[in-house]
Chains A and B, each alone.
Chain A
Amino acid sequence: MMKTKIKVAIFLLLGYVFEAQAQHGNVLIKNATVITITDGIKQNTDILIKGGKIEKIAKNIKAKGIDVIEADGMFAMPGIIDAHSHIAIDAVNEGTNPVTAEVFVGDALDPYDINIYRALAGGVTISHAMHGSANAIGGQCETIKHRWGVSNPEELRMQGALRTIKFALGENPIRSHGERGGIMPSTRMGVEQVFRDAFSQAKAYVKRWDDYKSGKDKLIPEYNLRMETIADILSGEIMIHCHSYRADEILMLMNVLKDFGINKICFQHVNEGFKVAPELAEFGAYASVFSDWWAYKFEVYYSTAYNAAILTKNGVITSINSDSRELIRHLYHEAAKTQKYGGLTDNEALRLITLNPAIQLGIDKRVGSLEKGKDADIVIFDKHPLSIYSIPQYTIVDGVTRFDISKDPADMRIEIDPNEKFPAFYEAVDHEHDDSCLQGLNELLFEK
């Protein structure tokens, strides 16, 4: 692949990334404190990685001809997984219609987004690149591996990950369509009907095609990608990740899903999930929450930073997400906040950013814990990852070291605008807490 001059030039410049061209690497991590998540903590232990997979976790592994990371005194844990982000995509919201199931942010992956590297520097190896929350039924999302350095967007995809789609309840779809577009939904009652309408239409659509396939109808029915996608939700092939805040709307959606025979869902943000934790647990719904964001709009005014702890203690599989190119850089710290707000144990806290998000994305067979045979997605910290003083040292994706703090030049951009003399300085760089800056900017996300 690396035949062209430019690529060689880029990789020479970045030095270490040269190895990145290999999709799967071999590494031996020596003498780390290994936090497995599923099998306790192992002191002074080695991890052998071959072909991008974890081959062995044991003491005193010997291997020849393989890169070694000396990790004495360091902590190795599974690569952090962010179940809700919008990095590495060039389009977030197709906010023109309350239902846009057919759009797919995976079509607009951006492997040159510097935020991928910054997330790696925070130990995040996988993120769930999501459509925004302007529409009740938004677009399909993509689970990506942070393979910083690849140029083909296809290479960011985590092949085999579960297909997912974004739904949204409450203020955002109401504001985007009822308030700004003058169409349903302009209330939470309307939001419910959007789902019921869409699911019912998709059933009718499937029937039209069945009639054609059985020969009952002669003409080929219209192909409707929106309906095709919703039909895939009904058949369980696509899992819903639903932007939600208030307890009532969470209950509403679970009722709708029951009526249409859908039994899997992950609620996103779900700030009032703690109020209906028993119902969520009973349904088997997952919850992916902020550590402590609240009060940026009315529907999160009655929130608590203890949400993750309450949900966890009620048996809901819970993760902590970023939804922000800033928070994604320190999800380990966000998880650590559950020790302040609810006293979770170390392992409970770390599960919130590893195995639990893996379960929510349907990739827990491959990632989320350090086990033999799993993908070698690993982050190595200098101190315990839940300590504020801890700094990621190496981030490994599929056995390839994509972040190494000792080889970390300042300017990591891959794509450089030849017309821009100096890189632009941005006064506002983070995910804004109020939505006012998003007015009239359809392409920007109405997140949160």
Chain B
Amino acid sequence: MKKKYTYLICLLLFPLMNFSQQITKSEGGIFLLKGGEIELLDDGRIQADLLIQDGEIKEIAESISHPGATLINCKGLIVFPGMIDCGTKLGLAEVGSISLTQDHNELGQFTPQMKALTAINPNSVNIPVTRVNGITTVLSTPSGGSFPGTAALINLHGYTPKQMYAGFEAIIFNYPSTGRRGRWDRRSDEDIAKDDKKSWEKIDEFWGNAKLQAEIKEKAQLNNSEINYKPQLDAMNGVVTGREYMIIEVNKESDILSAIKWVNKNKVKAIFSGVREGYLVTDSLVKYDVPVITGPILTNPSKNSDHYNTAYTNASKMQKAGVRVAIRTNETENVRNLPYNAGFAAAYGMGFKEAFKAVTIVPAQILGIDSKYGSLERGKIANIFVADGDPFETSTEIKYLFINGFKVPLESRHSYLYDEFLEREPGLSK
């Protein structure tokens, strides 16, 4: 086990600390990452230089020179594509217990018109804390009722939601669960069945009305007529017509099977999220080619009778069976643990390569943004981090971070407090 960051190094860095009291800004420009190993996922790692220009990866080649570029020495380091977390509330929530800082949960069962992108706080303290661990892009999702709103994919750098927006939005559907909500949920099986029936009655009606609204809208467009203002139904337009993705949160085995049927019946372009018991229904997931965003991996099994490693192995079992699996944290302030969630999936059967793909290229493919995100390729957005080792290992240090081609400082509230308090002045004396 390599040891990084020893006390000595800390002392060596000490003069920098005073400097870091000032806020460091991100730098734009042209960057040449020289002499590093480039992680190419399925194509292994190659020794090459990488040029960042205009926010994109301009070139990856054995030896690049560019006179205007800021040189970044990556000798002995590895260059990775930034990680993507497809299930977070980052930017929508600040302090857990204070509801006034929570902007992901609107009132009502049917609120698909609520747009996460509207409420993303670009200056959330959580964002720098997350990105310094190599996570460059996240999906921020509303929560709450059956159709809580529209999630947005954002890059973790920028001063307006528009600057951060990474080109993907999707309506969330919380598929009615026939499981128990938590340990405090003591409903009888019959009551659960009743509740399920009740919520489906409303959902069916809502879905039917959304379809009708879409049909009316289409006709109205043909003969240039007006349609009634129905924001909830209008928001569903893309999903009921099968044009846009819908992310369906579903976890229990029987619910997943039922959701697959529902998706086929209604011709929905679906991405499943959660999928805790996906490992039990891999056949169906593969047969109907349902992409899956699963996680967290670091979580308990859903049933007392489950094997202790059920949650650790779920992603791996699905991936091995041929399901397209991305890994998420479902977190807010600790989205930074994405590499460790992937790391546990790697340890429990998935291996590094597939697990790393599950937080880079696979989510990009699932969301349909792989032409711009998810790997280090010419022409893709320059979301990159440079590290001195395996990014899943806690002993690995991230040395450089680029988002949208900006060199982002590796600082956050956590590092500021460390710098200030490691050797507090004054100490004990007054």
A329: chain B residues at CB < 8 Å are: 300, 308
B185: chain A residues at CB < 8 Å are: 426
Interface pair B300/A346, CB less than 8 Å apart: no
B397: chain A residues at CB < 8 Å are: 340
Interface pair A171/B417, CB less than 8 Å apart: no
Closest B residue to A282 by beta carbon equals: B428
With contacts A340-B397, A346-B1, A387-B393 known, is A118 near B428, CB below 8 A? no
Interface pair A326/B184, CB less than 8 Å apart: no
With contacts A121-B309, A304-B413 known, is A435 near B97, CB below 8 A? yes
Q: Is A388 an interface residue (CB 8 A)?
A: yes
Interface pair A296/B182, CB less than 8 Å apart: no
Query: From DSSP, what is the main secondary structure of chain A's interface residues?
Result: loop
**Cβ contacts A419-448/B at 8 Å (1 or 0 each):** 001011111111011111100010010000
A425 to B301 CA separation, bound complex (whole angstroms):
9
A337 to B304 CA separation, bound complex (whole angstroms):
29
Residues of A368-393 at the interface with B, using a CB-CB cut-off of 8 Å, are 384, 386-391
A118 to B179 CA separation, bound complex (whole angstroms):
22
A384: chain B residues at CB < 8 Å are: 1
Residues of B373-430 at the interface with A, using a CB-CB cut-off of 8 Å, are 390, 392-397, 413-415, 417-418, 421-422, 424, 427-428
Binds A, one of B35-43, B217-225, B231-239, B329-337: B329-337
Interface pair B414/A305, CB less than 8 Å apart: yes
Q: Is A309 an interface residue (CB 8 A)?
A: yes
Q: Is A341 an interface residue (CB 8 A)?
A: yes
Choose among A295, A408, A424, A430 the residue that contacts B300 (Cβ–Cβ < 8 A): A430
With contacts A304-B418, A424-B180, A426-B302 known, is A294 near B333, CB below 8 A? yes
Residues of B292-335 at the interface with A, using a CB-CB cut-off of 8 Å, are 298-309, 332-334
Q: Is A158 an interface residue (CB 8 A)?
A: no
Q: Is B338 an interface residue (CB 8 A)?
A: no
How far, in Å, is B187 (CB) from chain A's closest CB?
10
Closest A residue to B392 by beta carbon equals: A388
Choose among B4, B305, B421 the residue that contacts A343 (Cβ–Cβ < 8 A): B4
Query: From DSSP, what is the main secondary structure of chain B's interface residues?
Result: loop
Interface pair A298/B97, CB less than 8 Å apart: yes
A121 to B301 CA separation, bound complex (whole angstroms):
13
Closest B residue to A330 by beta carbon equals: B298
With contacts A388-B346, A424-B179, A430-B300 known, is A278 near B307, CB below 8 A? no
How far, in Å, is A277 (CB) from chain B's closest CB?
7
How far, in Å, is A146 (CB) from chain B's closest CB?
13
Interface pair B301/A441, CB less than 8 Å apart: no
Interface pair B6/A296, CB less than 8 Å apart: no
Number of A-B contacts (CB under 8 A): 199
**Cβ contacts A345-386/B at 8 Å (1 or 0 each):** 110000000000000000000000000000000000000101
How far, in Å, is B125 (CB) from chain A's closest CB?
7
A30: chain B residues at CB < 8 Å are: none
Is the interface on chain A under 10, 10 to 19, 20 to 34, or 35 or more residues? 35 or more
Interface pair A425/B180, CB less than 8 Å apart: yes
Interface pair A295/B95, CB less than 8 Å apart: yes
With contacts A117-B308, A304-B417, A309-B418 known, is A427 near B3, CB below 8 A? no
Q: Is A410 an interface residue (CB 8 A)?
A: yes
With contacts A313-B422, A424-B303 known, is A293 near B98, CB below 8 A? no
Q: Is B94 an interface residue (CB 8 A)?
A: yes
Choose among B277, B305, B308, B421 the residue that contacts A121 (Cβ–Cβ < 8 A): B308
Interface pair B308/A118, CB less than 8 Å apart: yes
Q: Is A231 an interface residue (CB 8 A)?
A: no
Q: Is B191 an interface residue (CB 8 A)?
A: no
Q: Is A411 an interface residue (CB 8 A)?
A: yes
Interface pair A298/B394, CB less than 8 Å apart: no
B96: chain A residues at CB < 8 Å are: 295-297, 433-435
Q: Is A260 an interface residue (CB 8 A)?
A: no
**Cβ contacts B63-99/A at 8 Å (1 or 0 each):** 0000000000000000000000000000000111111
A409 to B310 CA separation, bound complex (whole angstroms):
12
Q: Is B241 an interface residue (CB 8 A)?
A: no
**Chain B CB within 10 Å, residue with most, of A325, A340, A386, A390:** A340
Interface pair A427/B177, CB less than 8 Å apart: yes
Interface pair B95/A427, CB less than 8 Å apart: no
A152 to B52 CA separation, bound complex (whole angstroms):
65
Closest A residue to B424 by beta carbon equals: A278
Task: Knowing that A329-B308, A421-B189, A426-B183 touch, tell me 15 more A-B residue pairs with CB under 8 angstroms.
Answer: A118-B308, A279-B428, A294-B333, A295-B332, A296-B333, A310-B422, A313-B7, A339-B3, A339-B5, A389-B346, A409-B307, A410-B305, A411-B305, A425-B302, A429-B299
Can you list 11 A-B contacts with CB-CB less than 8 angstroms, sorted by A residue number?
A: A114-B304, A277-B424, A295-B125, A295-B126, A297-B95, A302-B413, A304-B414, A306-B417, A388-B394, A424-B179, A437-B182
> Footprint of B on A, CB under 8 Å?
114-115, 117-118, 121, 171, 274-275, 277-279, 282, 292-298, 301-306, 309-310, 313, 325-326, 329-330, 333, 336-337, 339-343, 345-346, 384, 386-391, 408-413, 421, 423-430, 432-437, 441, 444
> Footprint of A on B, CB under 8 Å?
1, 3-7, 9-10, 94-99, 125-126, 177-185, 189, 251-253, 277, 298-309, 332-334, 336-337, 340, 343-344, 346-348, 390, 392-397, 413-415, 417-418, 421-422, 424, 427-428
